[in-house]
Amino acid sequence: MSRKSLTLSAELHEYVVAHSTPLDPLARDLVEETWAALPRQAGMQIAPEQSVFLTILTRLLGVRRAVEVGTFTGLSSLAIARGLPEDGQLICFDISEQYTSVARRYWERAGVAERIELRLGAAAQRLRELPEEPTIDLAFIDADKPGYPAYWAEIVPRVRRGGAILVDNTLRGGRVLDPAGDETDSAIVRFNDLAREDDRVELVVLPLGDGVTLARKR
Ligand SMILES: C[S@@+](CC[C@H](N)C(=O)[O-])C[C@H]1O[C@@H](n2cnc3c(N)ncnc32)[C@H](O)[C@@H]1O
């Protein structure tokens, strides 16, 4: 087996970001506002290179119907919505009115608010309100980590064959190798094992941002 691997130094990470399509001024404003208004929570936002990855993937797959679990102030939803066609639809799930009020403003500013429906409340319950038919083209999971198995259980049957499921933070800064009693890290370790054993999908863990699992429904 080939054992090629790469550890990104800070400099190499900067190079990766510098040689990827940058955030546009609107998305940069959103990042800056999030750090200014919510400095303790802002690290929850996806990385800039993940934002462009989401938009490209949405376009490559010709996504029309997308679902996001964990919206926060809106960077990932903005990235997905911008990759959708005019009549595409993104349903976002989050529990926080405060965080998502920021997202709503940026969806308006970006001209994509018409494509997005926000559903507030505990996502494990609210996901069950989605039609049971497999109509979702793309799902992005990025909410509370202990909830991942429940979100996965609701989402996988609803994704069409050939559709994609992205799951964020699946490397936890490398701590998946030694979760050492941390409940959130352990939850991700359990989720990664569960996903790998799931025959309904083929998947790869990408070392992008904090680790993104890209799964394709068989
Ligand atoms: C990591 S942040 C999402 C970051 C977002 N994807 C972005 O790019 O900015 C996690 C979000 O999950 C939400 N959340 C936490 N527990 C939840 C639950 N049980 N149901 C729905 N949303 C939840 C939080 O309110 C928070 O906004």
Helices 75-83 and 25-37: crossing angle in degrees, nearest 10, is 160
Mutational pocket test of ligand 1: of 38, 77, 128, 142, the residue with most ligand atoms within 8 Å of the beta carbon: 142
pLDDT at 181: 86
Parent domain of 193: 10-217
Q: Distance, CA 60 to ligand 1 centroid (Å)?
A: 25
- Which atom of ligand 1 is nearest to 122's Cα? 20
Mean pLDDT computed over 41-57: 96
Beta carbon of 198 within 6 Å of any ligand 1 atom:
no
Beta carbon of 95 within 6 Å of any ligand 1 atom:
yes
Mean pLDDT computed over 127-152: 98
pLDDT at 8: 83
Binning pLDDT at 50, 70 and 90, where does residue 96 land? very high
Within 10 A of 145 (CB to CB), how many other CB atoms are there? 22
- How many independent structural domains does the chain possess? 1
pLDDT at 81 over 70: yes
Helix (H) or strand (E) holding 24: none
In a domain, 1, yes or no: no
Q: E strands, the chain, where?
A: 65-69, 89-94, 116-120, 136-141, 159-168, 201-206, 212-217
* Diameter of the chain measured on Cα atoms: 49
| N-terminal to C-terminal alpha carbon distance within the chain | 25
In a domain, 83, yes or no: yes
Q: Distance (Å, rounded) from C-alpha 39 to C-alpha 137?
A: 33
What single-letter amino acid sits at 167?
Answer: V
Beta carbon of 42 within 6 Å of any ligand 1 atom:
no
Q: Distance (Å, rounded) from C-alpha 155 to C-alpha 140?
A: 10
pLDDT at 1: 57
Contact 54, 84 (CB under 8 A): no
pLDDT at 161: 98
pLDDT at 3 over 80: no
Residue 22 has φ and ψ, to the nearest 5°, of -75, 165
In a domain, 93, yes or no: yes
Mutational pocket test of ligand 1: of 32, 55, 72, the residue with most ligand atoms within 8 Å of the beta carbon: 72
Which amino acid residue places its CA nearest to atom 27 of ligand 1?
72
Mean pLDDT computed over 22-49: 97
Mean pLDDT across the chain: 96
Q: What is the CATH number of the domain that holds 79?
A: 3.40.50.150
pLDDT at 99: 98
Binning pLDDT at 50, 70 and 90, where does residue 7 land? confident
Kindly report, residue by residue over 185-211, the tens digit of the pLDDT: 999 999 999 999 999 999 999 999 999
Kindly report, residue by residue over 99-137, the tens digit of the pLDDT: 999 999 999 999 999 999 999 999 999 999 999 999 999
Binning pLDDT at 50, 70 and 90, where does residue 2 land? low
In a domain, 199, yes or no: yes
Mutational pocket test of ligand 1: of 35, 94, 128, the residue with most ligand atoms within 8 Å of the beta carbon: 94
In a domain, 2, yes or no: no
Cβ contacts of 204 within 8 Å, gap of 6 or more: 213, 214
Mean pLDDT computed over 88-95: 98
Contact 31, 103 (CB under 8 A): no
In a domain, 92, yes or no: yes
Residue 153's Cβ-side half-sphere holds a number of Cα atoms within 13 Å equal to 12
Mean pLDDT computed over 48-68: 97
Tokens of 105: 């403003």
